[in-house]
Amino acid sequence: MSLDLKQIVSDFKNGLWAENPIIRLVIGMCPTLAVTNTTENGLAMGLATSFVLVSSEIVISLIKKLIPANVRIPSYILIIATFVTFVDYFLKAFFPGIAASLSIFIPLIVVNCLILGRQEAFASKHSTPRAIADGIGMGLGFTWVLVLLGAIRELFGMGSIFGFTLLGEWYRPMVIMVLPAGAFITLGILVGIMNQISREGK
Amino acid sequence: MEKNSTRNLILTLAAIGIISALLLTFVYEWTTPYIQANQAKAQKQAINEVLPNVEEVEEVEKNGNVFYEGYDNNGNRIGVAFKNSGGGYNGMIEVMIGVDLNNEKIYKISVLNHQETPGLGARITEDDFKSNFVNKPFGDYTVVKKPPTEDTQVEAIAGATISSESITKVIENGLDKITEAYGGGN
């Protein structure tokens, strides 16, 4: 096992843009659409998912040779569920406010296909250092898009970002932006813009 | 030995399951005191919020429900707080209701838990909406969409009529339970 630094950097960068989970691979849509109604929720969901992603990529890349191919999916899910339960308890104990606003979407990280997808596509085939780089890259790639989505929706839907009011009394909030429909509209426009940017870059 | 033999499959999953359970046991033991403390703190805060100038709170069980009786510093009972819950728009709404039994009116309410839509139904936690119930006499309430003209009217949140009606129902229902337990007097 050789440590190729260049390879690791490119694994890390991969998730930020070229294979960004939300705007490129379009996976992990359930939390993307459901909890980005405020910036804070987006950030918390992004970080919680990143933690689970990196931890399970580490464990799975370490024990990949021990897991028989026939039970790899249930094994991955068990490992992922362990870390998710850990996050759930941790948030309830130390960040009760965030735990209350994300509620059911924390346990649902277990079935986020981004996490299972990266185990199957990456961690089970590559070395641990590369898996860590991939996990962090994908996690940050997921987080920045969630924060951006949350910020846009919160700004138009409530006139604030991170709970700080930016638009004054004169602004009449667009209620649709904090409802599920607002998530679809914002995400669609965002993916369109990103596609345009990467097309021009070529 | 064949790696994909049934025995091996069972052993692998069992081993992962046991290790996971073991780790989570430690995490559970570590976080549970904090989680319980958070819940107790939230509840205590809510009781203090809905009963004005309360000094001491006593838990009393009546008809299978727990009531929190609040006393001032002279030992007089100033009122009772009761936690009631019911279905909202997205999930359960849990409300702490503080009442003055002598005058049969609500002191204040506080929302403990809810899953209403942020920016819409979630505004049941804001003072603008909660003030609907301040000093309100017991009774059957109606949710209206314009500024209330009668004591029994509650002004709905714009765009969140279901949430407004749900929480009003939870409060009405809670008041019924309080009246039942205390017979409508001190």
Q: Where are the domains of chain A?
A: 5-23+31-201
CA angle A148, A145, A95 (to 5 degrees): 80
Inspect the interface and report whether the beta carbons of B23 and A86 lie closer than 8 Å: yes
Q: Domain span at residue B172?
A: 47-182
Q: Is B135 on the interface with A (CB under 8 A)?
A: no
Amino acid identity, position A14: N
Spatial CA neighbour of B95 closest among B150, B58, B120, B132:
B132
| Rounded Cα distance, B105 and B175, in Å | 9
| Rounded Cα distance, B149 and B106, in Å | 18
Residue B162 lies in a domain: yes
Residue B68 lies in a domain: yes
Spatial CA neighbour of A121 closest among A32, A33, A31, A53:
A53
Instruction: Tell me the count of A-B CB pairs closer than 8 A.
Output: 78
Q: What is the DSSP letter of A167?
A: S
Q: Which helix (H) or strand (E) holds B67?
A: strand B65-71
Residue B29 lies in a domain: no
Q: Is B144 on the interface with A (CB under 8 A)?
A: no
CA angle B148, B153, B158 (to 5 degrees): 65
| Rounded Cα distance, A186 and A102, in Å | 20
| List of chain B residues whose C-beta atoms are within 8 Å of the C-beta of residue A173 | 119
Inspect the interface and report whether the beta carbons of B20 and A81 lie closer than 8 Å: yes
Residue B119 lies in a domain: yes
Q: B interface mutation test: which of A67, A84, A176 has the most B CBs within 10 A?
A: A67
Q: What is the DSSP letter of B53?
A: T
What tens-digit pLDDT sequence spans chain B (186 residues)? Answer: 577 889 999 999 999 999 999 999 999 999 999 999 998 999 999 999 999 888 888 888 888 899 999 998 888 888 999 999 999 998 899 999 999 988 889 999 999 888 887 778 888 998 889 999 999 999 889 999 888 888 889 999 988 999 999 999 999 999 999 998 887 544
Residue B25 lies in a domain: no
Residue B5 lies in a domain: no
User: For chain B, where are the E strands, in sequence order?
Assistant: 56-62, 65-71, 77-87, 92-100, 105-113, 142-144, 153-155
pLDDT attached to residue B116: 84
pLDDT attached to residue B165: 94
**pLDDT tens digits for A80-120?**
999 999 999 999 999 988 888 887 789 889 999 999 999 99
Spatial CA neighbour of B180 closest among B138, B143, B151:
B138
Spatial CA neighbour of B72 closest among B100, B95, B45, B97:
B100
Spatial CA neighbour of A30 closest among A188, A185, A184:
A184
Spatial CA neighbour of B50 closest among B112, B103, B96:
B96
- Supply the ipTM of this predicted assembly: 0.83
Cα-flanking dihedrals φ and ψ of residue A140, to 5°?
-70, -40
Q: Is A38 on the interface with B (CB under 8 A)?
A: yes
| Rounded Cα distance, B89 and A29, in Å | 23
Q: Is B92 on the interface with A (CB under 8 A)?
A: no
Report helix, strand or coil for A98: helix
| Rounded Cα distance, B133 and B136, in Å | 5
pLDDT attached to residue B186: 46
Q: A interface mutation test: which of B38, B39, B128 has the most A CBs within 10 A?
A: B38
Amino acid identity, position A39: T
Q: Is B90 on the interface with A (CB under 8 A)?
A: no
Amino acid identity, position B151: D
Residue B4 lies in a domain: no
Chain B nearest-CA distance from A142, in A, is: 22
- Who contacts B4 (Cβ-Cβ below 8 Å, separation ≥6)? A68, A69, A70
| Rounded Cα distance, B120 and B123, in Å | 6
Q: Is B12 on the interface with A (CB under 8 A)?
A: yes
pLDDT attached to residue B18: 97
Residue B105 lies in a domain: yes
Residue B25 burial (10 A CB sphere; 0-12, 13-18, 19+)? exposed
The residue in chain A having the minimum alpha-carbon distance to the alpha carbon of residue B27 is A86
Q: Is B125 on the interface with A (CB under 8 A)?
A: no
All residue ranges of chain A with pLDDT < 50 are none
Q: Is A175 on the interface with B (CB under 8 A)?
A: yes
Inspect the interface and report whether the beta carbons of B24 and A92 lie closer than 8 Å: no
Inspect the interface and report whether the beta carbons of B9 and A71 lie closer than 8 Å: yes
Q: Which of B23, B119, B159 lies at the smallest CB-CB distance from A37? A: B119
Q: What is the DSSP letter of A172?
A: -
Quote the number of domains for chain B: 1
| List of chain A residues whose C-beta atoms are within 8 Å of the C-beta of residue B34 | 92-94
